[in-house]
Every structure is written in C-alpha cells, then in structure tokens.
C-alpha cells in the first residue's frame, strides 16, 4: 500500500494526475507531513524534501536567498524528524533534495541523526558511473553535480534501528 502526502493543493492535483496516468494505486492525502497523525506507521518512506533548489536553475532567481536556504533547512529537519518518528523499526527512508548545499543536506542529517536511533546506509554506486559527484561529508550519501544532462540533487538512505 502506498500513501502520498502533499500539502500544496496545486501540487497535489498534479500528483494525482501523474499517479492516474501511470495506473498506480496510491492513497493521496492533502496534509503537511509534519502534522501527520501518529497512528500512521510506514515500512519505507521517500522524503523528497522542499528545498532552495540550488541544484537547479532556481539558483539564478531573485527568490534564491539566504533566508530561503535557512527556512528550507528548518522544514527539512522537521520533516525528517517526523518521518523517523512514524517509520517502523528497521524501516528505511530515502531522503532527497534538489539542493547541493551542505546546509540543506549533510547538516540536516547530522543534526537529526545525533538525536535519533538511525544510521546512513551506503548507496550502491555500481550503476551510477556516469554521474559526476560532489564531495559529501557523510559517507554513503550522494550529491550529484548539476550538468547539462542532470540537475543537481542530494540523496541519502537512512535505516531506523530497532
């Protein structure tokens, strides 16, 4: 069973459209994931966190500010903390952003993982040989360099211990 959570009504409608187009069966909820009821419990979570978009062309926008980065990192921390709370023991989270900034990636992970019973699981790079990677402070995480082929993004696999 798949549950998707999106607080923005316009994005929610696009998500529903894309899900229907693919023929998938997904329970879609319009809700801020930070406020999900504690009765929810998941084996796996894909947390595609809102971010500054520093790995995209958004970096050239006047909306790309220090305040945006700070606000994004705070929301990411709250979302990751909530995700770990509703994740079952031995469950896994894929945490991703379209940012290449440490403030929104490694610093968020470091802050949350210090307090939580979770660990980073190495991502297998065997099939990703053509991607250019940026250096990360946390072993096992990936930060993809923006290029003409790809936008930049960050990804980490997290396992909740028992």
CA atoms within 13 A on the CB side of 87: 25
Judge whether 98 counts as a catalytic residue: yes
Short-list 80, 134, 75, 146, CA closest to 102: 134
Distances (CA, A) of 69 to 34, 54, 64, 84, 152: 19, 9, 8, 22, 16
Across the chain, how many H-helices and E-strands are there? 3, 8
Q: Which residues contact 107 (CB under 8 A, 6 or more apart)?
A: 73
Q: Active-site residues: which are they?
A: 98
């Amino acid at each position: 069973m798949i549950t998707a959570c999106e607080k923005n009504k316009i994005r929610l409608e696009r998500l529903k459209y894309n899900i229907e187009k693919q023929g998938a069966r997904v329970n879609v909820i319009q809700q801020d994931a930070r406020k999900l009821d504690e009765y929810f419990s998941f084996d796996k979570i894909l947390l595609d966190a809102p971010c500054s978009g520093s790995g995209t062309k958004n970096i050239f926008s006047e909306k790309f500010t220090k305040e945006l980065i700070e606000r994004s990192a705070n929301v990411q921390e709250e979302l990751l903390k909530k995700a770990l709370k509703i994740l079952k023991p031995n469950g896994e989270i894929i945490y991703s952003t379209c940012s290449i900034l440490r403030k929104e990636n490694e610093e968020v992970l470091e802050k949350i993982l210090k307090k939580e019973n979770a660990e980073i699981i190495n991502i297998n790079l065997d099939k990703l040989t053509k991607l250019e990677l940026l250096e990360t402070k946390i072993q096992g995480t990936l930060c993809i360099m923006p290029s003409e082929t790809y936008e930049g993004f960050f990804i980490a696999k997290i396992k909740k211990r028992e």
